[in-house]
């Protein structure tokens, strides 16, 4: 089970504290496919960090399940190591067979000879391809995705989405996104994060409309004084 119980979290943006969550609650079952739609710059990564357990809320509780792997996350790779060495290291951390995962990643990523070269020689797209291959090769129970379900050219994006759809038949997804369209085909439940709350939506169209409205509201508020909070 994943979620938040009466969670409050501030983050600093532009030198000012900003509310990401305020007494917010949400429960997501391990195998559910849920989209959390949020305006850019409103704390997408903060919510991801809370769900990953590397950040704690200012108050409240974050519910975390085991087996939640970040989808397409390249931040754990080391630039000085080859793609193969990075995958080998990741396999040991995930307790899966390194040779098996490496073979899968080599084939899926289509990086060819670059797979054996240091990541410092990779383009950002190549890194994303390797990261997505690694995620899709791992036995996740729930994927945590930060604004990205696929990367690369049209062929590779389709390949990723197809593999992800197949994986999602027996695992869950929490997709934190600022672009609602990406969530349309893969998620069953939609929430818009606005005003520090998770606003439940009836369906995709409702979520897209609500997110668009909150973006407009945000633009209208731009001229108004930004509220500050006493964190003492």
Partner 1 sequence: MMIGNGTTIGPARSASPGEWLRLQLQIVAALARRDVQSRFGETWLAYAGSFLAPVAWIAATWLAFYLLGRTPPVYTDMVSFIISGLIPYALFRYVVTAIGRTKTAARGLMLFPTVAEEQNLTAGALVELANGIILFLLVAGANLVIFGKGELADPLAFGWGMLLCWGLGGAYAYFLAMLSRFHGRAPNIGQLLLRPTFFLSAVFFTANELPEHILDWLSWNPLLHAVEVARDGMLFNYQSRVASGGYVLLWIAALATGGAILGLMRRN
Give the interface with partner 1 as residue ranges (CB under 8 A). Answer: 5, 49, 52-54, 56-70, 73, 75-78, 80-82, 85, 89-90, 92-95
Min dist CB 60 to partner 1, Å, is 7
Min dist CB 73 to partner 1, Å, is 6
Min dist CB 131 to partner 1, Å, is 11
Q: Residue 46 or residue 82: which is nearer to partner 1 going by CB?
A: 82
Q: Residue 117 or residue 178: which is nearer to partner 1 going by CB?
A: 117
Q: Residue 85 or residue 212: which is nearer to partner 1 going by CB?
A: 85
Q: Which helix (H) or strand (E) holds 157?
A: helix 154-167
Q: Residue 14 or residue 75: which is nearer to partner 1 going by CB?
A: 75
Min dist CB 188 to partner 1, Å, is 23
CA dist 221 → 8, 39, 227 (Å): 22, 14, 11
d(Cα 65, Cα 45) in Å, to the nearest integer?
19
Chain-centroid distance of CA 166 in Å reads 18
d(Cα 178, Cα 147) in Å, to the nearest integer?
7
Min dist CB 88 to partner 1, Å, is 8
Min dist CB 153 to partner 1, Å, is 26
Q: Residue 73 or residue 115: which is nearer to partner 1 going by CB?
A: 73
Handedness of CA 58, 63, 66, 71 (dihedral sign): negative
Q: What are the φ/ψ torsions at residue 31 (nearest 5 degrees)?
A: -100, 10
Min dist CB 118 to partner 1, Å, is 8
d(Cα 194, Cα 209) in Å, to the nearest integer?
13
Rounded (10°) CA dihedral 54, 55, 56, 62: -70
Q: Residue 131 or residue 192: which is nearer to partner 1 going by CB?
A: 131
Cβ neighbours for 51, distance < 8 A, ≥ 6 positions apart: 2, 62, 64, 68, 144, 174
CA dist 168 → 65, 104, 137 (Å): 17, 18, 13
Q: Residue 92 or residue 213: which is nearer to partner 1 going by CB?
A: 92
């Amino acid at each position: 089970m994943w979620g938040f119980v009466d969670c409050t979290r501030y983050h600093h943006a532009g030198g000012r504290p900003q509310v990401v969550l305020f007494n917010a609650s949400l429960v997501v079952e391990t195998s559910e496919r849920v989209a959390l739609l949020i305006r850019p710059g409103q704390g997408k990564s903060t919510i991801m960090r809370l769900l990953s357990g590397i950040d704690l809320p200012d108050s409240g509780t974050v519910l975390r399940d085991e087996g939640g792997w970040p989808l397409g996350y390249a931040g754990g790779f080391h630039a000085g190591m080859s793609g193969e060495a990075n995958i080998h290291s990741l396999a040991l951390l995930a307790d899966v067979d390194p040779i098996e995962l490496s073979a899968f990643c080599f084939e899926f990523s289509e990086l060819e000879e670059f797979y054996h070269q240091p990541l410092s020689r990779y383009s950002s797209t190549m890194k994303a391809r390797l990261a997505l291959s690694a995620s899709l090769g791992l036995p996740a129970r729930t994927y945590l995705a930060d604004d990205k379900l696929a990367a690369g050219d049209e062929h590779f994006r389709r390949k990723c989405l197809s593999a992800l759809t197949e994986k999602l038949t027996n695992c869950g997804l929490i997709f934190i996104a600022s672009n609602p369209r990406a969530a349309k085909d893969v998620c069953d439940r939609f929430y818009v994060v606005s005003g520090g709350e998770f606003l439940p939506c009836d369906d995709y169209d409702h979520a897209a409309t609500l997110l668009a409205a909150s973006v407009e509201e945000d633009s209208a508020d731009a001229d108004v004084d930004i509220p500050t909070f006493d964190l003492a």
